[in-house]
Structure 1
Amino acid sequence: MIDLAALTSLRAVAAHGSVVAAADALGFTPSAVSQQVKRLERQTGVPLLERVGRGVVLSRHGHHLVEAGGRVLADLEELEARLHREAGAVAGRLRMTAFSTAVRGLVAPRLRLLLNEHPDLSVTLHECEPWDTVDLVSSGQADLGVAHRWGDVPLVVPDHLVATTIATDVADVIVHRDHPLAGRDLLTPRDLLEEDWVATPEGTICRQWLHRMYDGTGRLPRIAHQSMEFDSHLALVRARLGIALVPRLGRQPLGPDLVAVPAAEPVPTRDVVALHRRSMTDSPAVAALLAALRD
């Protein structure tokens, strides 16, 4: 009989490209993951990993087992969800991921209320970026993830995931109160062509959206400073080192030194979406968590 825990470890090796990375994602030691894969090899009687240089890759048998085993795990997950639905049980453990401003502005305020209402349910939360959330939920390492997508900047979601919009967020241009634009009722990209920006790093969804805002101006935003954290953006604007585009969700109070000016043409909006595998659609725990996030 194939060990399902060992199969999960093999799938993690396939998803992350190495035993060490798989161990880190699963919260195990590399030795424990190696032992589980070896146990799986003894159970199946075929080699599942092949050594290449200092690393390992899946063998042909390993790839076949990961693909077929994924379907088996999905069927078992769906069966478990249906059993819980028939029992009406909002119970068990859910692994959740969310991006930072959603943790502050959406998840934290509502998760405590949900757990108070359902004492047999436990939820563990891991903060990460949207593309990591898609990978973690898709590969079975998280059960529900909260991600975002800005305007027409795509967030690619695999077919076996369900995306549910739970909120819509808007970003404002944040300027120092002494900035010449602080008194404006509305700002367009053409008003901001000569401004220095505080932005998230290249390749992030928020940075992509900032670039899209400038479409049609013949210019790109002039990036002066980069930071992943919007709290740092506010600190840099407060120090008069640039302006920033900061979402309202989870935004810290601006205080007396900063002003939020709405943006237009286009309006910078993002959908906040919850992702889960289709095999967990019948889970009362997933349904309860989705309902809590939408309230």
Structure 2
Amino acid sequence: MIDLRRLHVLRAVAHYGTVTAAARALHFTPSAASQQIRQLARDLGVDLLEPQGRGVRLTPAAESLLTHADAIQARWEQAELDLRAERGAPAGPLRVSGYPVAISVLLAPMAVRLQERYPRLAVRIREADVPESFDLLFEGEADLAIVEATPSNPPLSDARFDQRPLLDDPFDLVVPADHPLAGRERVDLSEAAHEDWIAPVPESPCRTHVISACGEAGFSPEVVHQAVDWNVTAQLVAHRLGVALIPRLAQLTPHLPITRVPCTRNPHRRFLTCTRRGGHERPAVEAALAQLRELAPTAVA
């Protein structure tokens, strides 16, 4: 008989990449987490971890077991739904997470609408970057997240999560108000190929979008300045230190002497809704997703 608590420790090791990180997330000591996995391996009569350098990696048997473990987790969540018979009006806590722009333009308005329509529903919003949102979902600390699609996200086929497209956020070319391109209705990025550029820092997911958009226009941008915050980027543009691609949903300091110009090739970033597998069937989550689908078309208008 498989101990589901030990199985969850193995799932955590696979999710976080190391026994130490998994133990920290589960509030175990590393030795206690290792003991749980060793006992699970003895129960099953197979090796689950093997040495790799100074760390460990999952064995093929562990990988196979995790396929079933993720399915078991999804079925367990469905069983909880069935037992609770949550088929009435949404009620109780709904924990949602997202990064700042998702909160300001989507999650905050969603919370207001939900609490007006369902007085017994308590929406709890938590700011979190994309990797942390996946961790919160995995740990059961969040029910719904808005994440940006990035190459480092779990694949859409990942059995632990249900990721669905919500909206595409276009990037505009942002130039000083007196720039020659400022009066254009639309611009091809190739026309800014010889400009100095302000780009996100290398670790930002949007850095890839900016470099890729310029590459599709046939050039590699001369990145002179780098910034984390979009308002810092906008300030640098306002001081005529370069041009930049900035997402339309980014809320910039008003009255700056800058102009947004839409791009012909439609560079964009994609927002996804994400739940644990099967979690979207909860009435509270269903109601939240319905509100997000209503808000999304007007968010980038």
Provide the TM-score with structure 1 as the length reference: 0.77
Deviation larger for 5-14 or 141-150? 141-150
Q: Deviations over 1:147-180 (max 9, x none)?
A: 3459xxx995226454444334333222233444
Alignment of 1:249 onto 2:249? yes
Alignment of 1:10 onto 2:31? no
Residue number in structure 1 paired with 2:19: 19
- Superposition map of 1:95-244 within 5 A: 96-115=96-115, 117-121=118-122, 123=124, 125-129=126-130, 132=131, 136=135, 143-149=143-149, 156-158=155-157, 160=159, 161-202=161-202, 205-215=205-215, 217-244=217-244
Residue number in structure 2 paired with 1:56: 56
Give the distance between the partners of 1:225 and 1:24, measured in 2 at CA.
Answer: 37
Cα distance change, pair 248–55 in 1 and its aligned pair in 2 (3 A): same
AA aligned opposite 1:257: L
Cα distance change, pair 83–213 in 1 and its aligned pair in 2 (3 A): same
Q: Deviations over 1:106-129 (max 9, x none)?
A: 223333543563545454535223
Please list every run of 5 or more consecutive structure 1 residues that lacks an aligned counterpart in the other structure: none
**Is 2:200–2:207's contact at 8 Å kept on the other side of the alignment?**
yes
Q: How far has the Cα of 1:14 moved from its partner?
A: 1.7
**Is 2:177–2:259's contact at 8 Å kept on the other side of the alignment?**
no
Where 1:107 maps in the other structure, the secondary structure is helix
Give the distance between the partners of 2:255 and 2:279, measured in 1 at CA.
Answer: 46
AA aligned opposite 2:129: C
Cα distance change, pair 103–258 in 1 and its aligned pair in 2 (3 A): farther
Give the distance between the partners of 1:91 and 1:43, measured in 2 at CA.
Answer: 40
Q: How far has the Cα of 1:67 moved from its partner?
A: 2.9
Residue number in structure 1 paired with 2:279: 280
Q: Deviations over 1:87-146 (max 9, x none)?
A: 4263455554423321232223333543563545454535223xx379548856654332
Q: Deviations over 1:190-236 (max 9, x none)?
A: 32111122112447553333234335643222212223332332232
Where 2:57 maps in the other structure, the secondary structure is strand
**Is 1:174–1:261's contact at 8 Å kept on the other side of the alignment?**
yes
Q: How far has the Cα of 1:11 moved from its partner?
A: 0.5
Give the distance between the partners of 1:76 and 1:289, measured in 2 at CA.
Answer: 22
AA aligned opposite 1:279: G
**Is 1:91–1:120's contact at 8 Å kept on the other side of the alignment?**
yes
Residue number in structure 1 paired with 2:260: 261
Give the distance between the partners of 2:133 and 2:251, measured in 1 at CA.
Answer: 24
Where 1:214 maps in the other structure, the secondary structure is helix
AA aligned opposite 2:145: G
- Superposition map of 1:40-55 within 5 A: 40=40, 48-50=48-50, 52=52, 54-55=54-55
Please list every run of 5 or more consecutive structure 2 residues that lacks an aligned counterpart in the other structure: 295-301
AA aligned opposite 2:194: E
Where 1:207 maps in the other structure, the secondary structure is helix
Cα distance change, pair 60–167 in 1 and its aligned pair in 2 (3 A): closer
Residue number in structure 2 paired with 1:292: 291
Tell me the matched-pair count: 289
What is the RMSD of the two structures over their aligned residues, measured on CA atoms?
3.7
**Is 1:23–1:33's contact at 8 Å kept on the other side of the alignment?**
yes
Q: Deviations over 1:216-272 (max 9, x none)?
A: 64322221222333233223223432222111224133x323323222321334443
Cα distance change, pair 74–172 in 1 and its aligned pair in 2 (3 A): same
**Is 2:86–2:283's contact at 8 Å kept on the other side of the alignment?**
no
Give the distance between the partners of 1:118 and 1:36, measured in 2 at CA.
Answer: 42
**Is 1:176–1:182's contact at 8 Å kept on the other side of the alignment?**
yes
Cα distance change, pair 133–17 in 1 and its aligned pair in 2 (3 A): closer
AA aligned opposite 1:102: A
